[in-house]
Amino acid sequence: MKWMMRTTAAMVLLISYIMVYAGCANFNREEVIVAVLDTGVDSEHPLLRGKVIQGWDFADQDRDSSDDDGHGTHVAGIILEKAPNAKILSVRVIKNDDVMNTGLAILYAITQGADIVNMSFVEPYHPFTEMAIQYGKSKGVVFVASSGNQNQDKVLYPAKYDEVISVTATDESLHYVYGNYGRTVNFAAPGMNIRSASLDGGYLNMTGTSMSAAYMSGVMAYLKSMYPSMGSEDLEDYLNTASITRNDLVLYASHETMHRPFKVIDYEQVQRLVRMELASGSESVEPAAALRSEMQSIDSYNRMPTIVEMSSDHLEGSANSEPYRTE
């Protein structure tokens, strides 16, 4: 086992060096770049036009990373809605519901200067993928992934890797959780009936942890654009401070109701904190903690009853049987 791990680590480094020396690397981008590892992205959608960097298609092994499914386009739209100044690096890893070459795609995203890598899918554990993520983490890259939609007390890969921020979905009231949950989930973010770009140039609503992971990546990209000097650990520390911890009763899609604390990310809350900090001339995490406690009294987190009743609206767009999908 140790021999295999050492061999895998060596392969990660070797492939990274090959990409660099072959001229495939571009570390010196000034933009905030979010790599979307998905079904591709429709770069001609009005919401995305001029914001998409065409990357490599690791499913068909060519330079056409356009989307023929719609999932990646929807994810990219959510990210850009939160971080309109960011760029999307389209990296196709999903074809016919199969995820492939994730480790290579991650290495490619790193060498293309990605600040954040969004993975709105689930797949089995692979040591090469784990090593690629560890390598990216050492380079300051933030990894975000969806926890999965099985509505179980567990997290699936790639969200389960230690270096990845795992995200489950919640509704607008923040009292209903959709998707996998538990102690290994880092954050909950809105992921139910989320409106974003579709392949026909229009928009549609989708539900799932794919959407909540994209929401999280968008918030991360927004913070990075506001505070360019922040590293990956700084960004994570900031969101840990800016999040709201819910300790009251929560209704889960698994029909369970329980006391289980979880951290919720709210984009508008983060925006207010950033504006207040910039107005005060501060860019550190400590003021955010003080501002958060002040703002909780004026926040709207208690605008709904303690328990939201189960309804058909909550189950719209529920998980299907395809292996990769989390929405």
pLDDT at residue 182 in the model: 80
* Whether 47 contacts 197, CB under 8 Å: yes
Contact 38/77 with Cβ under 8 angstroms?
Answer: no
Q: What is the pLDDT of residue 281?
A: 74
Domain boundaries in the chain? Answer: 26-315
**Helices 127-138/102-111 angle, 10° precision:** 20
In three-state secondary structure terms, 245 is strand
Lowest mean pLDDT among 74-88, 150-164, 304-318: 304-318
Above 60 in pLDDT, residue 37? yes
- What pLDDT, on the 0 to 100 scale, is given for residue 162? 96
* Dist CA 228 CA 242 (whole Å): 18
How many Cβ atoms are within 10 Å of 201's Cβ, its own excluded?
11
Q: pLDDT digit string (tens) for 248-284?
A: 546 666 666 655 667 889 899 899 989 988 888 765 5
- What is the mean predicted confidence (pLDDT) over 281-306? 47
Ranges 27-41, 85-99, 209-223, 313-327: which has the least confidence: 313-327
Least confident range from 217-221, 237-241, 246-250, 291-295: namely 291-295
For residue 22, the model assigns a pLDDT of 44
Of 148-152, 181-185, 195-199, 313-317, the one with minimum mean pLDDT is 313-317
Please give the mean pLDDT across all residues of the chain.
81
- Higher pLDDT, residue 9 or 221: 221
Residue 316 per-residue DSSP state: T
CB atoms within 10 A of CB 64: 12
In the chain, % of residues over pLDDT 90:
58
Instruction: Tell me what percent of the residues of the chain surpass a pLDDT of 70.
Output: 72
The pLDDT of residue 326 is 66
Q: What is the pLDDT of residue 324?
A: 63
Give the per-residue pLDDT at 303. 33
CB 215 within 8 A of CB 267: yes
What pLDDT does 26 receive? 56
**Alpha-carbon gap, residue 187 to 73, rounded angstroms:** 23
List, for residues 95-140, the tens digit of each pLDDT value. Answer: 999 999 999 999 999 999 999 999 999 999 999 999 999 999 999 9
pLDDT at 20: 52
Nearest Cα residue to 250 out of 154, 146, 321, 168: 168
- Of 156-170, 233-247, 263-277, 291-305, give the range with the top mean pLDDT: 156-170
- Residue 149, burial from CB neighbour count under 10 angstroms (0-12, 13-18, 19+): buried
Residue 221 bridge partners (DSSP): none
pLDDT for residue 214: 98
The residues near 164 (Cβ < 8 Å, ≥ 6 apart) are 119, 133, 143, 144, 145, 158
Judge whether 317 and 208 are in contact, CB under 8 Å. Answer: yes
Residue 171 — very low, low, confident or very high, per pLDDT cuts 50/70/90?
confident
Task: Classify domain 26-315 by CATH number.
Answer: 3.40.50.200
- Alpha-carbon distance of 133 to 44, in angstroms, equals 30
| Positions marked catalytic | 38, 71, 210
8 Å CB contact between 211 and 191: yes
